[in-house]
Amino acid sequence: MTDTVAGIEWPMTAATDEATRRVREMVSPLVFHHSRRVFLFGSLHARALGLQPDPELLYLAAMFHDTGLLTPFSDAVQRFELDGADNARKFLLDHGFSDGAADVVWQAVALHTTPGIPGRMGPEIAATTFGVLTDAIGWGLDELDADQVQEITAVHPRGDFKREFLQEFVDGLKNRPETTYGTVNSDVLEHFIPDFRRTSMVERVTGSAWPQ
């Protein structure tokens, strides 16, 4: 692989090399390429906004951000974002990173589908979400240099991304639909699974044990 793509240098360390190998073996090619693009797009947005994320931490967050969707990493029934975040944190601690660094990556992964909040947090957390938003829904795409975008998608092609990415969500969430409450993930199940019915906040309040 080239050392740089679209003017962004890959952070080549023992940890990033191991994360790349592990994630490549763990997820589908579609998710692997998506994760690499998230790092690149997130880096470009960070540069444009004057943010200075730690490249290694941003890369690790990008690589692990969807791993919980493909392979749950805990026995707990929880949001896939938490599965990925827990796995990422363990990886960092096992590779000698500080608690603080592991917490940053945990937050970046755990919050990457949460609207509004991560963009107001630290640079690694914000840049991860900006990269996810650009690759998943085209957020900020018109603000990026077209030649850089073309270079990124040439190295890490999108393929039939829209259809296959949504199917990854269906496959990863259909056996734990209750974990999608209050998240954008319920949109996917509601669209693709005929008998899925989302629970609303109104139902939770009116159906609570309180008499009034």
Find the mean pLDDT for residues 26-51.
Answer: 97
According to the model, what pLDDT value does residue 142 have? 96
Is residue 72's pLDDT more than 80? no
Distance between CA atoms of residues 68 and 85, nearest Å: 8
Taking every pair of Cα atoms in the chain, the longest distance, rounded to a whole number of angstroms, is 64
Is residue 13's pLDDT more than 60? yes
**Angle, nearest 10°, between helix axes 99-110 and 123-137?**
30
Q: Kindly compute the dihedral angle of the four CA atoms of residues 212, 184, 20, 172, in this order, to the nearest 10 degrees.
A: 80
Find the mean pLDDT for residues 161-174.
Answer: 96
* Average pLDDT value for the chain: 96
Token pair for 26: 């763990």
Is residue 1's pLDDT more than 60? no
Find the mean pLDDT for residues 153-177.
Answer: 96
Find the mean pLDDT for residues 50-58.
Answer: 98
- Tell me the pLDDT band of 74, cut-offs 50, 70 and 90: confident
Is residue 143's pLDDT more than 70? yes
According to the model, what pLDDT value does residue 75 have? 80
Tens digits of residue pLDDT in 97-130: 999 999 999 999 999 999 999 999 999 999 999 9
According to the model, what pLDDT value does residue 154 have? 98
Token pair for 169: 């969500």
Q: Which residue has the tokens 């992964």?
A: 109
- Tell me the pLDDT band of 73, cut-offs 50, 70 and 90: confident
